[in-house]
Chains A and B, each alone.
Chain A
Amino acid sequence: MIRDQKLWAWHIVAGLIILVLLGLHMVTMHLEGLVPLRVLNPVVGKAPIDWENVVARGKAVTMPVIYVLLLGAALFHGLYGFTNIVREANPPRWLARTVTALAVVVGLGLFALGSWAAVAAHLLARKL
């Protein structure tokens, strides 16, 4: 049995990862005028969502790594939080176990799909 201590510890770590990476996203996409990050927006004179910058970012190996990390952290943080909220309602044991099992299956499925999309986008960008 995975003890709640481990799950909670990783829940906190996942929250910190989300905080850092979403902060990076905000700076890159929405605060480009204030904090220009040339590493992530390399094409000068173009907006962060312009095609040139999107392709340039997509070519970097770090991007799929960041996407996969953010995806894993967000899925774990969100789904563990969701199962905890369900348990707050004091469901029967079988229902709590079913919800947990569903969260694991859905989480792993979405993680696989999202990871494939991130890697595929990177490979596509490198061909352009």
Chain B
Amino acid sequence: MSEMTKVTYRIRRYDPNRDAAPHYETYTIDYTPGLTVLEGLWRIKETLAPDLVWRASCRMGVCGSCGMLINGMARLACNTQISDLGTDQLVLAPLPNFDIIRDLVPDLMPMIRTHQELHPYLVREDGGEQEGPTGEYYQSVHDLEQYLQFSYCIKCACCMAACPTMATDPTYAGPMPLAQVQRYNADSRDGGFGVREEAVAGERGPWRCHYAGECSRVCPKGVDPAKAIQLLKRQMVLDYFGLRRAKCPSKLVEKPANPKRREGIPEAPKPTV
């Protein structure tokens, strides 16, 4: 696509105060090498459609705000080089499986609420330790690897938009919240399997997932929510039959009695702020 000089955006527009139904509008802008879909949207807003609305923040694939449907696939606009799409014709729409607030902005609150309801945090009896930590919990490298990749989730909702079960089943919790359930269940510092199990044992749990795998395919951070859901299913089935190996939440690392500084280690520089 090195000869590309122009790029055409066909964007689904919808303003509930003005439009009866969503419709598409077309904009053509100059293409420059390295142009991302998000930067193209900024150019359109600056020059052609000042009322165009989308959600974005970090511009570097970290905040998860700019998830949208780009040429039929849920992606982050900031993370998508136009040259990688192999075409100069872009079709943009808001993420499916959500209500539209306006233009390219989906209403993610149902996902956020579901996420909140599934206890996505460490559940321990020593709650005070988490509010005012006095030390560190034991965790081996092996323990860390059990949940690490699931902790890379940025809640961009691309997986939710790609999930075929989400499209048909309004009761299903969805890949992101369920992957986060597994993320905390697999954490050696956590003791909240029971409360999360209670939250997902019903019809919104992992049972409706039939492993299409689209959530993992579209994830811009390389997380594998489909795998997390299968692991969650397995743990819950084993737990039902009393075969799950229960784990005790890891304990605090005891502080050394007489810490002694090793020789040859330089002092840390003094804080400058």
Cβ-neighbour of A5 out of B165, B169, B205, B208 (below 8 A)? B205
How many whole Å from B273's CB to the nearest CB in chain A?
52
Query: Digit string of A49-91 for contact with B (CB within 8 Å is 1, else 0)?
Result: 0000000000000000000000000000000000010011110
A87: chain B residues at CB < 8 Å are 169, 208
Q: Which residues in B have some Cβ–Cβ distance to A below 8 Å? A: 165, 168-170, 197, 201-203, 205, 207-208, 233, 236-237, 240-241
How many whole Å from A89's CB to the nearest CB in chain B?
7
Complex: chain A residue closest to B236, CB-CB: A5
Cβ-neighbour of B202 out of A4, A12, A88, A90 (below 8 A)? A4
Cα–Cα distance between A6 and B201 once the two chains are bound (Å): 8
Q: Verify B168–A8 contact, CB threshold 8 A.
A: no
Main secondary structure of the interface of A (DSSP, over half): helix
How many whole Å from A2's CB to the nearest CB in chain B?
10
Query: Which 3 A-B pairs rank lowest in CB-CB distance, beginning with the nearest?
Result: A5-B201, A9-B240, A4-B207
B203: chain A residues at CB < 8 Å are 4
Q: List 10 A-B contacts (CB under 8 A).
A: A4-B202, A4-B203, A5-B202, A5-B207, A8-B207, A8-B237, A9-B237, A84-B207, A88-B165, A90-B168
A38 within 8 A of B: no
Q: Verify B169–A3 contact, CB threshold 8 A.
A: no
Q: Verify B197–A5 contact, CB threshold 8 A.
A: yes
How many whole Å from A65's CB to the nearest CB in chain B?
22
A6: chain B residues at CB < 8 Å are 240
How many whole Å from A5's CB to the nearest CB in chain B?
4
Cα–Cα distance between A88 and B169 once the two chains are bound (Å): 7
Complex: chain A residue closest to B197, CB-CB: A5
Cα–Cα distance between A115 and B202 once the two chains are bound (Å): 31
Q: Which residues in A have some Cβ–Cβ distance to B below 8 Å? A: 1, 3-9, 12, 84, 87-90
Cα–Cα distance between A7 and B202 once the two chains are bound (Å): 10
B168: chain A residues at CB < 8 Å are 88-90
A12: chain B residues at CB < 8 Å are 237
A90: chain B residues at CB < 8 Å are 168-170
Complex: chain B residue closest to A10, CB-CB: B240
Cα–Cα distance between A84 and B202 once the two chains are bound (Å): 13
A84: chain B residues at CB < 8 Å are 207-208
Q: Given A84-B207, A87-B208, A88-B168, list of 10 further CB < 8 A pairs? A: A1-B202, A4-B207, A8-B237, A9-B236, A9-B237, A9-B240, A12-B237, A84-B208, A87-B169, A88-B165
How many whole Å from B61's CB to the nearest CB in chain A?
33
- A4 in contact with B169 given A9-B237, A9-B240, A12-B237 (CB within 8 Å): no
Cα–Cα distance between A88 and B203 once the two chains are bound (Å): 12
Complex: chain B residue closest to A13, CB-CB: B241
- A4 in contact with B205 given A88-B168, A88-B169, A90-B170 (CB within 8 Å): yes
A89: chain B residues at CB < 8 Å are 168
Complex: chain B residue closest to A6, CB-CB: B240
How many whole Å from A4's CB to the nearest CB in chain B?
4
Complex: chain B residue closest to A88, CB-CB: B168
Cα–Cα distance between A30 and B241 once the two chains are bound (Å): 34
How many whole Å from B77's CB to the nearest CB in chain A?
30
Q: Verify B202–A3 contact, CB threshold 8 A.
A: yes
B197: chain A residues at CB < 8 Å are 5
How many whole Å from A112's CB to the nearest CB in chain B?
27
Cα–Cα distance between A5 and B232 once the two chains are bound (Å): 11
Cα–Cα distance between A88 and B172 once the two chains are bound (Å): 11
Cα–Cα distance between A87 and B201 once the two chains are bound (Å): 17
B165: chain A residues at CB < 8 Å are 88
Complex: chain B residue closest to A89, CB-CB: B168
